[in-house]
Amino acid sequence: MNRKIRYGMVGGGRGAFIGAVHRIAAAMDQQIELVCGAFSSDPKRSQASGADLFLPPERCYGTFEDMIKSEARLREGERMDFIAIVTPNHLHFRPAQLALEQGIHVLSDKPATFNLSQARKLRELVRKTGLLYCLTHNYTGYPLVKEARDLVRAGKLGKIRKVIVEYPQGWLATRLEATGQKQASWRTDPKRSGAAGSIGDIGTHAENLAEYVTGLQIEELAADLTTFVKGRKLDDDGNVLLRFQGGAKGVLHASQISVGEENNLNIRVYGEKGGLEWHQKPEGYLEAFANIYKNFANHIRARLEGRRPAKDDPALDYPKIEDAVRGMAFIEAVVKSSRKNAAWTKLEV
């Protein structure tokens, strides 16, 4: 199939942060091209944003509904092959749902949905339609993270005993949302972010990373969430004890009030025979993000060409709907445990 995979974007207009990251990630390997967008709920802003990206005006839509329905009517090879959803959390579900209903593959920023119930609904739709779904837990796109997973999988560490996974940030140590800063505003707003603050925003990355590297699922957890900044409505810090299937123990902590920390995701895994450690800091963030896009696009390409990737084909190595549901179950378990004074709580997927 001699053409690039085509996508449309929901969100990511002028002034947005993560949308631009997604576009770079999509562009980097030159296998994917942006063909349309509903960049903003303000049609003019959507048009202007599309013009910045050299898109023709007729494919810059005012709403995601319009985009999905219009594009679905185009012929294959012209229409978008998948939709990339880069809006705040509360606007993830509906475009994902509609796209799946219209036969369009879906890539979504994390966390997958506003709550666990929505994630389960998407899982149903994905199963029913057979379409592809990708959740951009971009940290699993790092080559060294994949190497870590491979080492564990190959048994080099022996049976896993202990996992420490950390995600400290410091940018919300003061009440930044009160200044109108856009990123802070929606992330600290229960109506747009969901039931959790830091745990939803970055704790889910830590959870996904721990499960990806170890190949083990978190069975139960005991969580102590705190809101340190006065007036804030969601947690800005969380410390969590973990118990994995098979007996491994762990600690997960995520924080957005850890002054001096920028984006210090890291994990340590100790097994009976060996240990490993990975820190996010020095590596290529964009390249890792691009790997998620590339693998997903290659899976779509295989579909379009009628091929079925082999089990170990990298085209299958991206976070899927099951990861999406687990992430939402993690958020709900953490919040529930913390409300019960850190009582042990199981993940219900």
Q: Which stretch binds a second copy (CB under 8 A): 61-69, 86-94, 168-176, 185-193?
A: 168-176
**Least separation, in Å, of the C-beta of 270 and a second copy?**
5
What is the full DSSP assignment across 44-105? HHHHHHHHHTT--GGGB-SSHHHHHHHHHHSPTTTS-SEEEE-S-GGGSHHHHHHHHHTT-E
Q: How far is the C-alpha of 126 from the C-alpha of 99, rounded, in Å?
A: 11
Q: What angle do CA 194, 295, 54 make, to 5 degrees?
A: 80
β-strand partners of 255:
168, 237
Q: Minimum distance from CB of 158 to a second copy (Å)?
A: 8
Confirm if 137 and 296 have CB atoms less than 8 A apart: no
Q: Smallest distance, Å, CB 135 to a second copy? A: 23
Q: How far is CA 145 from CA 12, 246, 268, in A?
A: 27, 22, 11
In the complex, least distance from residue 98 CB atom to a second copy, rounded to whole angstroms:
26
DSSP state of 248: -
12 sits near a second copy (criterion: CB under 8 A): no
The distance of Cα 305 from the centroid of its chain, to the nearest Å, equals 27
Interface with a second copy by CB under 8 A: which range of 75-83, 122-130, 195-203, 279-287? 279-287
Q: How far is the CB of 235 from a second copy (least distance, A)?
A: 11
Q: Is 205 in the site for a second copy (CB under 8 A)?
A: no
| Contact between residue 35 and residue 59 where contact means Cβ atoms under 8 Å apart | yes
Question: CB-wise, 24 or 349, nearer to a second copy?
Answer: 24
Span near a second copy by CB under 8 A; candidates 115-123, 147-155, 157-165, 179-187: 157-165
Q: How far is the CB of 30 from a second copy (least distance, A)?
A: 5
Residues that bind a second copy (CB under 8 A): 2-4, 23-24, 27-30, 34, 51, 53-54, 157, 161-162, 164, 166, 168, 170, 173, 222, 224, 226, 228, 237, 239, 241, 243, 249-251, 253, 255, 257-261, 268, 270-277, 281-287, 341-342, 344
